[in-house]
Amino acid sequence: MSDERKLQVLRAIVQDYVSTSEPVGSKALLERHQLGVSAATVRNDMAALEDEGLIAAPHTSAGRIPTDAGYRLYVDKLSQIKPLSKAERKAIEQFLVRSVDLDDVLSRTVRLLSSLTGQAAVVQYPSLNTATVRHVELVPRAADRLTLVVILSTGQVEQRVIELGRSLTEQEIDELINDLRAGLNDRTAGLRRSPASHALLRWADELSEPTQEAGSVVATAVAGVLAEEREDRVLLGGTANLVRSSGDFALSLGPLLDALEEHMVLLRLLSHEVGEAATDGVAVRIGTENAIRGLTGTSVVTTAYDADSLASLGVLGPTRMDYPSTMAAVRAVARYVADIIDN
């Protein structure tokens, strides 16, 4: 018995079941696919696939459906992900390029992924704790205050008001900003938040007149902003798609929806295990491969879009999923998000 032919039969079963949601029989396979073999051969191949735990009979009908192991073999045999069409890529680019800041980029990403795949979408913010400083700017606000603007490598913009402790003339403020701007950027650009904070504290102690007093206040304030620890954030969207697919889940949706309410569960969904198998950078966890309680009846398709912080995005849905299309959409969206953030 040919392993390649059995794999061909498995592919056909997966494709038909995903398309129709009905158990697939040998007669339907012969009618819909050019398998080039007899009905008896197809039945023998299906029996062998069932013995190997790759397909199963959901009830007493002649039809079979893929098991988690069957989906896994099917996904593993995808040597590469078929790219989206030019029109699809253009639509993704046009939707994301209208974003005005990082929050808008990721909000649009969740909506886009959910719409493209018909699944629930999850996007992780780039970790601000691992981000590097791209630029520091000071803007006059009042006689005794400045606005601090810190731009990070993730595209995130931090703004704070710095109290100088005393009033300065407009000329003094302009001179202070001119004296400090280069020093702030020379000591922080390209560094992660914590090292940049320490560098500024050392610099604050080294400042001399005439900028020593006000300069020390500013440098210390910037160091404090950079030293702030930030919790990783995630966005979830499209959970209504899970409700519309409720018939694909063996158990109640309650445990699944409860699990998705937990912040740490969402972060774990997007985490990539060392050595985890991936196709073109896209990882797929199917059914019982998801160890999180409530998610064992789902499949999760994820990929990283920010190399520095390993921030990821992905989708979650039933195991009866169009894996090639979903993987292609996840990969394409991740690439556009990465380009937007890098620029």
**Residue 189 contacts residue 133 (beta carbons within 8 Å):** yes
Note the maximum CA span of the chain: 93
**58, 60, 61, 65: CA torsion to nearest 10:** 20
Quick one: tokens of 181? Answer: 């701007």
Global pTM value: 0.75
List the beta bridge partners of residue 123.
235, 313
Distance (Å, whole) CA 232 – CA 30: 50
Is 286 in contact with 75 (CB distance < 8 Å)?
yes
- Within the chain, which residues score under 70 in pLDDT? 1, 60-61, 128-129, 210-211, 229-231, 272-277, 307-310
CB-based burial, 279-309: b 16+ in 10 Å, e otherwise: bebbbbbbbebbebebbbbbbbbbbbbbeeb
Cis peptide preceding 195, ω within 30 of 0: no
Alpha carbon distances (Å) from 292 to 164, 216, 285: 50, 49, 11
Q: Which residue has the tokens 């996904």?
A: 75
Compute the distance between CA of residue 184 and CA of residue 151 in angstroms, rounded to an integer: 12
Domains annotated for the chain, with CATH where assigned, are: 3-75 (1.10.10.10), 86-127+232-342 (3.30.450.40), 133-227 (3.30.390)
pLDDT for res 189? 93
DSSP string over 314-334: EEEEESS--HHHHHHHHHHHH
Distance between CA atoms of 279 and 303, rounded to whole angstroms?
A: 10
Question: Contact, 223 vs 204, CB < 8 A?
Answer: yes
Cα angle, residue 128 at apex, residues 123 and 131 outer, rounded to 5°: 110
How far is CA 116 from its chain centroid? 15
- Report pLDDT digits (tens) over 36-57: 888 888 889 889 999 999 999 9
Q: What's the pLDDT at 229?
A: 66
Q: How far apart are CA 316 and CA 249, in angstroms?
A: 12
What is the DSSP track for 98-167? T--SHHHHHHHHHHHHHHHHSSEEEEEPPPTTT-BEEEEEEEEEETTEEEEEEEETTS-EEEEEEE-SS-
pLDDT given for residue 215 in this prediction? 84
Helix (H, G, I), strand (E, B) or coil at 245: coil
In this predicted structure, what is the pLDDT of residue 61? 67
User: What DSSP assignment string belongs to 8-59?
Assistant: HHHHHHHHHHHHH-S-B-HHHHHHHS---S-HHHHHHHHHHHHHTTSEE-SS
